[in-house]
Protein backbone atom coordinates (compact mmCIF):
# COMPACT_ATOMS: atom_id res chain seq x y z
CA UNK A 1 0.00 0.00 0.00
CA UNK A 2 1.93 3.02 -1.18
CA UNK A 3 0.51 6.29 -2.41
CA UNK A 4 2.07 6.32 -5.87
CA UNK A 5 1.66 2.66 -6.86
CA UNK A 6 -1.62 0.92 -7.78
CA UNK A 7 -3.99 3.66 -6.58
CA UNK A 8 -6.53 5.25 -8.89
CA UNK A 9 -7.15 8.76 -10.14
CA UNK A 10 -7.93 11.80 -8.04
CA UNK A 11 -11.14 11.50 -6.07
CA UNK A 12 -11.05 14.59 -3.88
CA UNK A 13 -9.10 17.80 -4.13
CA UNK A 14 -9.09 20.80 -1.83
CA UNK A 15 -7.32 24.00 -2.75
CA UNK A 16 -6.77 26.92 -0.40
CA UNK A 17 -9.53 25.77 1.93
CA UNK A 18 -10.44 28.36 4.54
CA UNK A 19 -13.05 27.79 7.23
CA UNK A 20 -14.19 30.28 9.82
CA UNK A 21 -15.83 29.68 13.16
CA UNK A 22 -17.96 32.12 15.08
CA UNK A 23 -17.39 32.98 18.69
CA UNK A 24 -18.58 36.09 20.51
CA UNK A 25 -20.18 37.46 17.35
CA UNK A 26 -16.83 37.42 15.58
CA UNK A 27 -15.53 35.14 12.85
CA UNK A 28 -12.16 33.52 13.42
CA UNK A 29 -10.30 31.47 10.88
CA UNK A 30 -9.92 27.85 12.03
CA UNK A 31 -8.62 26.40 8.78
CA UNK A 32 -6.18 28.68 7.02
CA UNK A 33 -5.65 27.64 3.46
CA UNK A 34 -5.21 23.87 3.36
CA UNK A 35 -4.59 21.88 0.17
CA UNK A 36 -5.47 18.22 0.04
CA UNK A 37 -5.46 15.49 -2.60
CA UNK A 38 -6.96 12.06 -2.22
CA UNK A 39 -6.85 9.27 -4.79
CA UNK A 40 -9.37 6.50 -5.21
CA UNK A 41 -8.78 3.71 -2.71
CA UNK A 42 -6.21 5.72 -0.75
CA UNK A 43 -6.25 6.27 3.01
CA UNK A 44 -5.05 9.68 4.14
CA UNK A 45 -4.30 10.21 7.81
CA UNK A 46 -4.99 13.66 9.26
CA UNK A 47 -3.14 14.15 12.50
CA UNK A 48 -2.78 17.00 14.96
CA UNK A 49 -3.80 18.22 18.39
CA UNK A 50 -7.28 19.46 19.18
CA UNK A 51 -7.89 22.81 17.54
CA UNK A 52 -5.77 21.82 14.56
CA UNK A 53 -8.90 21.76 12.38
CA UNK A 54 -8.83 18.04 11.55
CA UNK A 55 -12.54 17.33 12.00
CA UNK A 56 -13.51 20.58 10.34
CA UNK A 57 -11.52 19.63 7.25
CA UNK A 58 -12.99 16.12 7.31
CA UNK A 59 -16.53 17.51 7.34
CA UNK A 60 -15.63 20.02 4.62
CA UNK A 61 -14.84 17.05 2.39
CA UNK A 62 -18.58 16.38 2.52
CA UNK A 63 -19.36 20.03 1.81
CA UNK A 64 -20.56 20.31 5.39
CA UNK A 65 -19.79 22.92 8.02
CA UNK A 66 -21.01 22.61 11.60
CA UNK A 67 -23.44 25.23 12.89
CA UNK A 68 -21.38 28.30 13.78
CA UNK A 69 -18.82 27.50 11.08
CA UNK A 70 -18.64 28.48 7.45
CA UNK A 71 -16.41 27.58 4.55
CA UNK A 72 -15.20 31.01 3.54
CA UNK A 73 -12.86 30.37 0.65
CA UNK A 74 -11.19 27.70 -1.41
CA UNK A 75 -12.17 24.91 -3.69
CA UNK A 76 -13.48 21.45 -2.84
CA UNK A 77 -13.95 19.13 -5.78
CA UNK A 78 -15.24 15.62 -5.25
CA UNK A 79 -15.11 13.46 -8.36
CA UNK A 80 -15.77 16.39 -10.67
CA UNK A 81 -18.45 18.00 -8.49
CA UNK A 82 -17.53 21.39 -7.09
CA UNK A 83 -18.91 21.17 -3.55
CA UNK A 84 -18.51 24.91 -2.98
CA UNK A 85 -20.90 25.70 -5.81
CA UNK A 86 -23.16 22.64 -5.58
CA UNK A 87 -26.72 23.11 -4.33
CA UNK A 88 -27.75 21.79 -0.94
CA UNK A 89 -29.75 19.04 -2.62
CA UNK A 90 -26.81 17.95 -4.80
CA UNK A 91 -24.63 17.70 -1.72
CA UNK A 92 -27.35 15.87 0.15
CA UNK A 93 -27.48 13.25 -2.57
CA UNK A 94 -23.73 12.70 -2.30
CA UNK A 95 -23.74 12.35 1.47
CA UNK A 96 -24.28 8.85 2.73
CA UNK A 97 -24.21 7.53 -0.85
CA UNK A 98 -20.78 8.46 -2.16
CA UNK A 99 -19.20 10.08 0.90
CA UNK A 100 -19.93 8.62 4.31
CA UNK A 101 -18.97 9.60 7.83
CA UNK A 102 -17.96 7.61 10.90
CA UNK A 103 -18.12 9.70 14.06
CA UNK A 104 -15.97 9.63 17.18
CA UNK A 105 -18.66 8.65 19.62
CA UNK A 106 -20.83 5.95 18.10
CA UNK A 107 -22.93 5.90 21.24
CA UNK A 108 -23.92 9.52 20.71
CA UNK A 109 -24.12 9.35 16.94
CA UNK A 110 -26.62 6.53 16.71
CA UNK A 111 -30.17 7.72 17.23
CA UNK A 112 -31.30 6.16 20.53
CA UNK A 113 -34.87 5.83 19.28
CA UNK A 114 -34.22 3.45 16.37
CA UNK A 115 -32.79 -0.03 15.98
CA UNK A 116 -29.35 -0.37 14.41
CA UNK A 117 -30.61 -2.03 11.27
CA UNK A 118 -33.24 0.65 10.73
CA UNK A 119 -30.52 3.25 10.84
CA UNK A 120 -28.41 1.15 8.50
CA UNK A 121 -31.22 0.75 5.97
CA UNK A 122 -32.28 4.38 6.10
CA UNK A 123 -29.49 5.53 3.79
CA UNK A 124 -29.88 2.98 0.99
CA UNK A 125 -33.68 3.09 1.10
CA UNK A 126 -34.08 6.88 1.26
CA UNK A 127 -31.50 7.44 -1.46
CA UNK A 128 -33.11 4.77 -3.64
CA UNK A 129 -29.96 2.64 -3.75
CA UNK A 130 -31.74 -0.53 -2.71
CA UNK A 131 -34.95 -1.84 -1.22
CA UNK A 132 -35.56 -2.42 2.44
CA UNK A 133 -35.18 -6.21 2.40
CA UNK A 134 -32.04 -6.01 0.32
CA UNK A 135 -30.55 -3.40 2.66
CA UNK A 136 -31.28 -5.58 5.68
CA UNK A 137 -29.63 -8.64 4.23
CA UNK A 138 -26.65 -6.50 3.24
CA UNK A 139 -26.50 -5.19 6.80
CA UNK A 140 -26.36 -8.73 8.16
CA UNK A 141 -23.56 -9.56 5.77
CA UNK A 142 -21.54 -6.46 6.68
CA UNK A 143 -22.07 -7.06 10.40
CA UNK A 144 -20.55 -10.47 9.79
CA UNK A 145 -17.59 -9.05 7.88
CA UNK A 146 -16.98 -6.60 10.74
CA UNK A 147 -16.88 -9.54 13.16
CA UNK A 148 -19.89 -8.43 15.18
CA UNK A 149 -21.26 -11.23 17.34
CA UNK A 150 -24.53 -12.77 16.13
CA UNK A 151 -24.61 -10.70 12.90
CA UNK A 152 -28.08 -11.95 11.94
CA UNK A 153 -29.72 -10.55 15.02
CA UNK A 154 -27.55 -7.77 16.42
CA UNK A 155 -29.11 -5.25 14.04
CA UNK A 156 -32.46 -5.65 15.72
CA UNK A 157 -31.11 -4.18 18.93
CA UNK A 158 -31.23 -0.57 20.06
CA UNK A 159 -27.93 1.32 20.35
CA UNK A 160 -27.92 1.26 24.15
CA UNK A 161 -28.13 -2.53 24.12
CA UNK A 162 -24.79 -2.87 22.33
CA UNK A 163 -21.26 -2.17 23.64
CA UNK A 164 -19.11 0.75 22.52
CA UNK A 165 -16.73 -1.28 20.37
CA UNK A 166 -19.62 -3.06 18.68
CA UNK A 167 -21.40 0.22 18.04
CA UNK A 168 -18.31 1.65 16.40
CA UNK A 169 -18.22 -1.34 14.05
CA UNK A 170 -21.96 -1.07 13.42
CA UNK A 171 -21.36 2.55 12.47
CA UNK A 172 -18.62 1.53 10.05
CA UNK A 173 -21.10 -0.95 8.55
CA UNK A 174 -23.65 1.85 8.26
CA UNK A 175 -21.11 4.04 6.47
CA UNK A 176 -20.51 1.16 4.04
CA UNK A 177 -24.22 0.71 3.36
CA UNK A 178 -24.25 2.51 -0.01
CA UNK A 179 -20.68 1.41 -0.85
CA UNK A 180 -19.33 4.97 -0.86
CA UNK A 181 -16.18 6.05 -2.68
CA UNK A 182 -14.95 7.92 0.39
CA UNK A 183 -15.40 7.50 4.14
CA UNK A 184 -14.39 10.10 6.69
CA UNK A 185 -13.31 8.40 9.93
CA UNK A 186 -13.33 11.03 12.66
CA UNK A 187 -11.37 9.63 15.63
CA UNK A 188 -13.37 6.38 15.51
CA UNK A 189 -11.43 4.60 18.23
CA UNK A 190 -10.49 7.43 20.58
CA UNK A 191 -13.31 6.68 23.00
CA UNK A 192 -12.56 2.95 23.15
CA UNK A 193 -10.46 0.82 25.47
CA UNK A 194 -7.13 -0.28 24.11
CA UNK A 195 -8.17 -3.92 23.74
CA UNK A 196 -11.39 -2.94 21.97
CA UNK A 197 -9.69 -0.31 19.83
CA UNK A 198 -7.43 -2.84 18.23
CA UNK A 199 -10.28 -5.01 17.02
CA UNK A 200 -12.13 -2.03 15.60
CA UNK A 201 -8.97 -0.84 13.87
CA UNK A 202 -8.37 -4.24 12.35
CA UNK A 203 -11.93 -4.61 11.05
CA UNK A 204 -11.99 -1.08 9.66
CA UNK A 205 -8.71 -1.67 7.90
CA UNK A 206 -9.92 -4.93 6.37
CA UNK A 207 -13.21 -3.63 5.10
CA UNK A 208 -11.70 -0.48 3.61
CA UNK A 209 -9.22 -2.66 1.74
CA UNK A 210 -11.86 -5.15 0.67
CA UNK A 211 -14.11 -2.55 -0.95
CA UNK A 212 -11.17 -0.39 -2.07
CA UNK A 213 -12.76 2.62 -0.39
CA UNK A 214 -10.83 5.84 -0.07
CA UNK A 215 -10.71 7.22 3.44
CA UNK A 216 -9.69 10.23 5.44
CA UNK A 217 -8.63 8.95 8.84
CA UNK A 218 -8.63 11.64 11.52
CA UNK A 219 -6.87 11.00 14.81
CA UNK A 220 -4.50 12.49 17.34
CA UNK A 221 -2.85 9.13 17.94
CA UNK A 222 0.28 8.69 15.87
CA UNK A 223 0.59 4.99 16.39
CA UNK A 224 -2.98 4.51 15.19
CA UNK A 225 -2.56 6.61 12.09
CA UNK A 226 0.62 4.71 11.26
CA UNK A 227 -1.41 1.50 11.07
CA UNK A 228 -4.27 2.91 9.03
CA UNK A 229 -2.95 5.44 6.54
CA UNK A 230 -1.07 5.27 3.25
CA UNK A 231 -0.16 8.92 3.58
CA UNK A 232 -0.07 11.25 6.60
CA UNK A 233 -0.78 14.96 6.75
CA UNK A 234 0.21 16.78 9.93
CA UNK A 235 -1.90 19.80 10.86
CA UNK A 236 -1.45 22.55 13.39
CA UNK A 237 -3.58 25.64 14.02
CA UNK A 238 -5.47 25.04 10.78
CA UNK A 239 -2.39 24.81 8.58
CA UNK A 240 -0.51 21.94 7.01
CA UNK A 241 2.78 21.32 8.76
CA UNK A 242 3.95 18.60 6.44
CA UNK A 243 2.75 15.67 4.40
CA UNK A 244 4.41 12.46 3.26
CA UNK A 245 3.72 8.79 2.81
CA UNK A 246 3.47 6.86 6.05
CA UNK A 247 6.83 5.13 6.02
CA UNK A 248 8.74 8.33 5.28
CA UNK A 249 6.77 10.30 7.84
CA UNK A 250 7.38 7.76 10.57
CA UNK A 251 11.08 7.39 9.97
CA UNK A 252 12.16 10.87 8.97
CA UNK A 253 9.80 13.71 9.83
CA UNK A 254 11.12 17.01 8.50
CA UNK A 255 9.45 19.69 10.61
CA UNK A 256 10.32 20.54 14.18
CA UNK A 257 6.67 20.32 15.27
CA UNK A 258 6.27 16.84 13.85
CA UNK A 259 9.39 15.73 15.65
CA UNK A 260 7.99 16.98 18.98
CA UNK A 261 4.81 15.02 18.29
CA UNK A 262 6.89 11.94 17.66
CA UNK A 263 8.94 12.53 20.79
CA UNK A 264 6.04 13.00 23.13
CA UNK A 265 6.02 9.54 24.54
CA UNK A 266 9.55 9.92 25.86
CA UNK A 267 8.70 11.12 29.38
CA UNK A 268 9.56 8.59 32.03
CA UNK A 269 9.91 9.43 35.67
CA UNK A 270 13.03 8.68 37.63
CA UNK A 271 12.39 6.01 40.22
CA UNK A 272 12.09 7.40 43.74
CA UNK A 273 13.86 5.43 46.45
CA UNK A 274 11.52 3.91 49.00
CA UNK A 275 11.33 6.01 52.15
CA UNK A 276 9.05 4.13 54.46
CA UNK A 277 8.12 0.54 54.97
CA UNK A 278 4.67 1.26 56.34
CA UNK A 279 2.03 1.86 53.66
CA UNK A 280 0.26 5.22 53.73
CA UNK A 281 -2.99 3.83 52.38
CA UNK A 282 -3.98 0.18 52.40
CA UNK A 283 -6.99 -1.20 50.69
CA UNK A 284 -7.75 -4.48 52.43
CA UNK A 285 -9.98 -7.19 50.95
CA UNK A 286 -12.55 -4.71 49.70
CA UNK A 287 -15.75 -6.05 48.16
CA UNK A 288 -18.29 -3.50 46.97
CA UNK A 289 -21.53 -3.39 45.02
CA UNK A 290 -23.92 -0.89 43.44
CA UNK A 291 -27.24 -2.09 44.82
CA UNK A 292 -27.38 -5.78 44.03
CA UNK A 293 -24.71 -5.57 41.31
CA UNK A 294 -21.29 -6.61 42.65
CA UNK A 295 -18.45 -4.51 41.21
CA UNK A 296 -15.40 -5.20 43.33
CA UNK A 297 -14.27 -8.59 44.56
CA UNK A 298 -11.65 -8.87 47.30
CA UNK A 299 -9.45 -5.98 46.17
CA UNK A 300 -6.25 -5.38 48.19
CA UNK A 301 -3.24 -3.18 47.53
CA UNK A 302 -0.97 -0.71 49.35
CA UNK A 303 0.15 2.79 48.45
CA UNK A 304 3.38 4.14 49.96
CA UNK A 305 4.27 7.74 50.78
CA UNK A 306 5.83 9.51 47.83
CA UNK A 307 4.99 6.71 45.41
CA UNK A 308 2.60 6.25 42.52
CA UNK A 309 0.35 3.25 42.10
CA UNK A 310 -1.16 3.02 38.63
CA UNK A 311 -4.47 1.17 38.44
CA UNK A 312 -5.03 -0.10 34.91
CA UNK A 313 -7.96 -1.80 33.23
CA UNK A 314 -10.73 -1.45 30.69
CA UNK A 315 -13.87 0.54 31.36
CA UNK A 316 -16.04 -1.40 33.77
CA UNK A 317 -13.08 -3.08 35.45
CA UNK A 318 -13.73 -1.33 38.77
CA UNK A 319 -10.90 1.26 38.75
CA UNK A 320 -13.05 4.26 39.55
CA UNK A 321 -15.19 2.26 41.94
CA UNK A 322 -12.06 1.50 43.95
CA UNK A 323 -11.43 5.24 44.14
CA UNK A 324 -15.00 5.77 45.32
CA UNK A 325 -14.47 3.25 48.10
CA UNK A 326 -11.25 4.92 49.22
CA UNK A 327 -12.86 8.37 49.29
CA UNK A 328 -15.87 6.99 51.14
CA UNK A 329 -18.42 7.76 48.42
CA UNK A 330 -19.25 4.07 48.22
CA UNK A 331 -19.01 2.23 51.54
CA UNK A 332 -17.61 -1.28 50.97
CA UNK A 333 -19.64 -4.42 51.66
CA UNK A 334 -16.62 -6.12 53.15
CA UNK A 335 -13.06 -5.13 53.89
CA UNK A 336 -11.72 -1.72 54.83
CA UNK A 337 -9.43 1.15 53.93
CA UNK A 338 -6.57 2.00 56.32
CA UNK A 339 -4.63 5.24 56.39
CA UNK A 340 -1.38 5.15 58.38
CA UNK A 341 -2.59 1.86 59.81
CA UNK A 342 -5.86 3.29 61.12
CA UNK A 343 -9.10 2.06 59.58
CA UNK A 344 -11.29 4.77 58.01
CA UNK A 345 -15.08 4.74 58.37
CA UNK A 346 -16.63 3.35 55.17
CA UNK A 347 -18.93 6.31 54.64
CA UNK A 348 -17.34 9.73 54.07
CA UNK A 349 -20.05 11.31 56.22
CA UNK A 350 -18.59 9.57 59.25
CA UNK A 351 -15.02 10.67 58.56
CA UNK A 352 -13.37 13.57 60.34
CA UNK A 353 -12.23 16.68 58.50
CA UNK A 354 -8.61 15.58 58.91
CA UNK A 355 -9.37 12.18 57.41
CA UNK A 356 -11.16 13.82 54.48
CA UNK A 357 -8.34 16.30 53.96
CA UNK A 358 -5.74 13.61 53.44
CA UNK A 359 -7.33 12.07 50.35
CA UNK A 360 -8.10 14.41 47.46
CA UNK A 361 -9.38 13.72 43.93
CA UNK A 362 -8.55 15.00 40.46
CA UNK A 363 -11.04 14.05 37.78
CA UNK A 364 -10.91 13.22 34.09
CA UNK A 365 -13.16 15.98 32.84
CA UNK A 366 -11.72 19.21 34.22
CA UNK A 367 -14.53 20.96 32.35
CA UNK A 368 -17.24 19.49 34.52
CA UNK A 369 -15.20 19.23 37.70
CA UNK A 370 -14.99 22.99 38.24
CA UNK A 371 -17.92 25.32 38.77
CA UNK A 372 -18.07 27.52 35.66
CA UNK A 373 -19.63 30.38 37.63
CA UNK A 374 -16.77 30.62 40.14
CA UNK A 375 -13.52 32.49 39.70
CA UNK A 376 -10.24 30.63 40.12
CA UNK A 377 -9.82 32.48 43.44
CA UNK A 378 -12.97 30.83 44.81
CA UNK A 379 -12.31 27.41 43.30
CA UNK A 380 -8.89 27.12 44.94
CA UNK A 381 -9.70 29.26 47.96
CA UNK A 382 -12.63 27.19 49.16
CA UNK A 383 -10.66 24.09 50.26
CA UNK A 384 -7.96 26.35 51.74
CA UNK A 385 -10.45 28.08 54.02
CA UNK A 386 -12.48 24.92 54.64
CA UNK A 387 -9.64 22.61 55.62
CA UNK A 388 -7.01 25.00 56.89
CA UNK A 389 -9.18 27.85 58.13
CA UNK A 390 -7.17 30.58 56.41
CA UNK A 391 -8.85 33.87 55.53
CA UNK A 392 -8.12 37.37 54.35
CA UNK A 393 -4.55 38.16 53.35
CA UNK A 394 -3.20 34.73 54.30
CA UNK A 395 -5.82 33.03 52.16
CA UNK A 396 -4.93 35.28 49.22
CA UNK A 397 -1.24 34.53 49.66
CA UNK A 398 -1.87 30.80 49.79
CA UNK A 399 -3.98 30.88 46.60
CA UNK A 400 -1.16 32.73 44.81
CA UNK A 401 1.36 30.25 46.12
CA UNK A 402 -0.72 27.36 44.81
CA UNK A 403 -1.06 29.00 41.40
CA UNK A 404 2.72 29.44 41.19
CA UNK A 405 3.10 25.82 42.22
CA UNK A 406 1.07 24.66 39.21
CA UNK A 407 3.01 27.04 36.94
CA UNK A 408 0.19 29.49 36.26
CA UNK A 409 0.94 33.17 36.81
CA UNK A 410 -1.14 34.27 39.82
CA UNK A 411 -1.82 37.83 38.63
CA UNK A 412 -3.06 36.63 35.29
CA UNK A 413 -5.26 33.78 36.42
CA UNK A 414 -6.62 34.47 39.88
CA UNK A 415 -9.68 36.40 38.71
CA UNK A 416 -10.50 34.38 35.64
CA UNK A 417 -13.42 32.04 35.13
CA UNK A 418 -12.82 28.41 34.05
CA UNK A 419 -14.40 29.19 30.66
CA UNK A 420 -11.45 31.48 29.87
CA UNK A 421 -8.92 28.65 30.35
CA UNK A 422 -7.68 25.92 28.04
CA UNK A 423 -8.22 22.24 28.85
CA UNK A 424 -4.71 21.80 30.22
CA UNK A 425 -4.97 24.95 32.36
CA UNK A 426 -8.29 23.79 33.77
CA UNK A 427 -6.72 20.48 34.74
CA UNK A 428 -3.94 22.42 36.48
CA UNK A 429 -6.58 24.32 38.45
CA UNK A 430 -8.04 20.98 39.54
CA UNK A 431 -4.59 19.92 40.68
CA UNK A 432 -4.19 23.16 42.64
CA UNK A 433 -7.59 22.59 44.24
CA UNK A 434 -6.50 19.12 45.34
CA UNK A 435 -3.22 20.50 46.67
CA UNK A 436 -5.04 23.25 48.53
CA UNK A 437 -6.10 20.75 51.19
CA UNK A 438 -2.44 19.85 51.73
CA UNK A 439 -3.16 16.15 51.30
CA UNK A 440 -0.76 13.25 51.64
CA UNK A 441 -2.53 11.29 48.97
CA UNK A 442 -4.20 12.22 45.66
CA UNK A 443 -6.37 10.03 43.45
CA UNK A 444 -5.94 10.96 39.79
CA UNK A 445 -8.84 9.49 37.78
CA UNK A 446 -7.88 9.43 34.08
CA UNK A 447 -6.59 12.99 34.46
CA UNK A 448 -4.85 13.09 31.09
CA UNK A 449 -7.29 11.07 28.96
CA UNK A 450 -9.19 14.09 27.70
CA UNK A 451 -6.03 16.03 26.82
CA UNK A 452 -3.76 16.19 23.81
CA UNK A 453 -0.51 14.34 24.11
CA UNK A 454 1.69 17.39 24.48
CA UNK A 455 -0.59 18.98 27.07
CA UNK A 456 -0.95 15.63 28.85
CA UNK A 457 2.77 15.30 29.06
CA UNK A 458 2.99 18.73 30.71
CA UNK A 459 0.45 17.60 33.33
CA UNK A 460 2.37 14.39 33.99
CA UNK A 461 5.62 16.31 34.44
CA UNK A 462 3.89 18.71 36.82
CA UNK A 463 2.44 15.86 38.88
CA UNK A 464 5.86 14.25 39.01
CA UNK A 465 7.52 17.48 40.20
CA UNK A 466 4.86 17.99 42.86
CA UNK A 467 5.30 14.43 44.05
CA UNK A 468 9.02 14.99 44.59
CA UNK A 469 8.60 18.37 46.25
CA UNK A 470 5.66 17.54 48.48
CA UNK A 471 6.22 13.83 49.02
CA UNK A 472 2.77 12.97 47.71
CA UNK A 473 1.36 9.51 47.11
CA UNK A 474 -0.72 9.07 43.94
CA UNK A 475 -3.24 6.50 42.93
CA UNK A 476 -3.28 6.95 39.17
CA UNK A 477 -6.29 5.47 37.40
CA UNK A 478 -5.84 5.08 33.67
CA UNK A 479 -6.49 2.83 30.72
CA UNK A 480 -3.48 4.18 28.86
CA UNK A 481 -0.44 1.99 29.23
CA UNK A 482 1.90 4.64 27.87
CA UNK A 483 0.95 6.81 30.86
CA UNK A 484 1.47 3.89 33.20
CA UNK A 485 4.92 3.33 31.79
CA UNK A 486 5.69 7.02 32.25
CA UNK A 487 4.64 7.65 35.82
CA UNK A 488 4.09 4.54 37.90
CA UNK A 489 6.14 2.93 40.61
CA UNK A 490 3.73 0.10 41.14
CA UNK A 491 1.05 -1.24 38.82
CA UNK A 492 -2.28 -2.86 39.66
CA UNK A 493 -4.09 -4.52 36.74
CA UNK A 494 -7.85 -4.92 37.17
CA UNK A 495 -10.35 -6.97 35.21
CA UNK A 496 -14.05 -7.33 36.00
CA UNK A 497 -13.69 -6.03 39.54
CA UNK A 498 -10.73 -8.20 40.48
CA UNK A 499 -7.01 -7.58 40.61
CA UNK A 500 -5.38 -9.93 38.13
CA UNK A 501 -1.82 -8.86 38.65
CA UNK A 502 0.17 -6.34 40.69
CA UNK A 503 3.78 -5.46 41.21
CA UNK A 504 6.58 -2.94 40.56
CA UNK A 505 6.58 -1.25 37.15
CA UNK A 506 9.68 -2.92 35.77
CA UNK A 507 8.33 -6.34 36.65
CA UNK A 508 4.97 -5.64 35.03
CA UNK A 509 6.52 -4.53 31.76
CA UNK A 510 8.87 -7.49 31.54
CA UNK A 511 7.52 -10.92 30.63
CA UNK A 512 6.18 -13.26 31.73
CA UNK A 513 2.82 -11.54 32.25
CA UNK A 514 -0.54 -12.65 33.32
CA UNK A 515 -2.56 -13.53 30.20
CA UNK A 516 -4.75 -10.43 30.50
CA UNK A 517 -1.81 -8.08 31.15
CA UNK A 518 -0.25 -9.54 28.06
CA UNK A 519 -3.38 -8.79 26.04
CA UNK A 520 -3.41 -5.21 27.35
CA UNK A 521 0.27 -4.66 26.64
CA UNK A 522 0.21 -6.16 23.20
CA UNK A 523 -2.82 -4.02 22.26
CA UNK A 524 -1.05 -0.70 22.69
CA UNK A 525 -0.45 0.55 19.15
CA UNK A 526 3.17 0.98 18.19
CA UNK A 527 4.67 3.35 15.67
CA UNK A 528 5.71 0.60 13.32
CA UNK A 529 3.28 0.73 10.34
CA UNK A 530 3.24 -3.08 10.12
CA UNK A 531 2.50 -3.56 13.77
CA UNK A 532 -1.28 -4.07 13.41
CA UNK A 533 -0.99 -6.54 10.54
CA UNK A 534 1.70 -8.52 12.33
CA UNK A 535 -0.21 -8.55 15.58
CA UNK A 536 -3.44 -9.68 13.93
CA UNK A 537 -1.55 -12.40 12.16
CA UNK A 538 0.00 -13.52 15.42
CA UNK A 539 -3.29 -13.47 17.29
CA UNK A 540 -5.04 -15.34 14.53
CA UNK A 541 -2.42 -18.01 14.90
CA UNK A 542 -2.87 -18.09 18.63
CA UNK A 543 -6.63 -18.09 18.27
CA UNK A 544 -6.93 -15.18 20.66
CA UNK A 545 -9.30 -13.21 18.50
CA UNK A 546 -11.91 -15.89 18.99
CA UNK A 547 -11.92 -15.44 22.72
CA UNK A 548 -11.97 -11.64 22.73
CA UNK A 549 -14.06 -10.65 19.72
CA UNK A 550 -17.19 -10.43 21.83
CA UNK A 551 -15.96 -7.48 23.86
* Interface pick for other proteins out of 77, 145, 158, 496 (rule CB under 8 A): 158
User: What's the CA dihedral at 150, 156, 162, 164 to 10 degrees?
Assistant: 90
Binding-residue total with other proteins (CB under 8 A):
31
- Assess 346 for contact with other proteins (CB under 8 A): no
Side-by-side strand order, sheet with 43-47? 99-102, 182-186, 214-219, 43-47, 231-236, 239-245
- Assess 291 for contact with other proteins (CB under 8 A): no
- Assess 22 for contact with other proteins (CB under 8 A): no
Name the minimum Å distance from CB 125 to other proteins.
11
* Interface pick for other proteins out of 37, 51, 64, 327 (rule CB under 8 A): 64
Burial of 416 (0-12, 13-18, 19+ CB in 10 A): middle
- Assess 66 for contact with other proteins (CB under 8 A): yes
- Assess 122 for contact with other proteins (CB under 8 A): yes
* Residue 346 vs residues 283, 332, 483, 526: alpha-carbon distances, Å: 12, 6, 30, 42
Window contacting other proteins (CB under 8 A); options: 155-163, 205-213, 280-288, 426-434: 155-163
Nearer to other proteins, 177 or 359 (CB): 177
- Assess 108 for contact with other proteins (CB under 8 A): yes
* 281 DSSP β-pair partners: 303, 339
Window contacting other proteins (CB under 8 A); options: 119-127, 132-140, 298-306, 538-546: 119-127
Binding mask 159-188 for other proteins (x = CB under 8 A): -xx------------x--------------
Name the minimum Å distance from CB 156 to other proteins.
10
Nearer to other proteins, 94 or 402 (CB): 94
**Could you tell me how far CA 79 lies from the centroid of its own chain?**
34
Distance CA 199, CA 230 (A): 19
* Interface pick for other proteins out of 30, 97, 208, 443 (rule CB under 8 A): 97
* Interface pick for other proteins out of 15, 18, 127, 375 (rule CB under 8 A): 127
CB neighbour list of residue 142: distance below 8 Å, 6 or more residues apart: 173, 176, 177, 207
Nearer to other proteins, 95 or 461 (CB): 95
Name the minimum Å distance from CB 89 to other proteins.
9
Window contacting other proteins (CB under 8 A); options: 90-98, 240-248, 458-466, 498-506: 90-98
- Assess 110 for contact with other proteins (CB under 8 A): yes
Nearer to other proteins, 126 or 278 (CB): 126
Other C-beta atoms closer than 10 Å to the C-beta of 263 total: 12
- Assess 315 for contact with other proteins (CB under 8 A): no
Upstream peptide bond of 512 is cis (omega within 30 degrees of 0): yes
Window contacting other proteins (CB under 8 A); options: 13-21, 104-112, 499-507, 510-518: 104-112
Closest CA to 418 of 380, 390, 464: 380
Distance CA 427, CA 429 (A): 5
**Could you tell me how far CA 342 lies from the centroid of its own chain?**
37
Closest CA to 303 of 443, 506, 510, 430: 443
Closest CA to 245 of 521, 493, 1: 1
* Interface pick for other proteins out of 100, 312, 366, 408 (rule CB under 8 A): 100
- Assess 117 for contact with other proteins (CB under 8 A): no
- Under DSSP, is residue 477 helix (H, G, I), strand (E, B) or coil? strand
Instruction: Write out the residues near other proteins by the rule CB under 8 A.
Output: 59, 62, 64, 66-67, 92-97, 100-101, 103, 105, 108-114, 122-123, 126-127, 157-158, 160-161, 174
Amino acid sequence: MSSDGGKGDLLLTMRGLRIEGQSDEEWHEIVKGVDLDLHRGEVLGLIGESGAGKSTIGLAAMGFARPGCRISAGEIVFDGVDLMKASESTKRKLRGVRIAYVAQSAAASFNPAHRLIDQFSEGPVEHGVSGRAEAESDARELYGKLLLPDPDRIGYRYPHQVSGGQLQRAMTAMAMACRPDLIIFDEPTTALDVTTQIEVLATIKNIVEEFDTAAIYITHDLAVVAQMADRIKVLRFGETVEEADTATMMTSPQQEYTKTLWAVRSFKKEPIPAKSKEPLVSVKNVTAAYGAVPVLHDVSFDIYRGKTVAVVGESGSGKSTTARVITGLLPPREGQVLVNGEPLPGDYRHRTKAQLRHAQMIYQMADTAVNPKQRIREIIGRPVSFYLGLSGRRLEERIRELLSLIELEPDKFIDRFPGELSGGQKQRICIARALAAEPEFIICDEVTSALDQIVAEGILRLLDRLQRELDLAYMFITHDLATVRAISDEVVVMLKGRIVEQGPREEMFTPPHHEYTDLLLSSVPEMDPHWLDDLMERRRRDGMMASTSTS
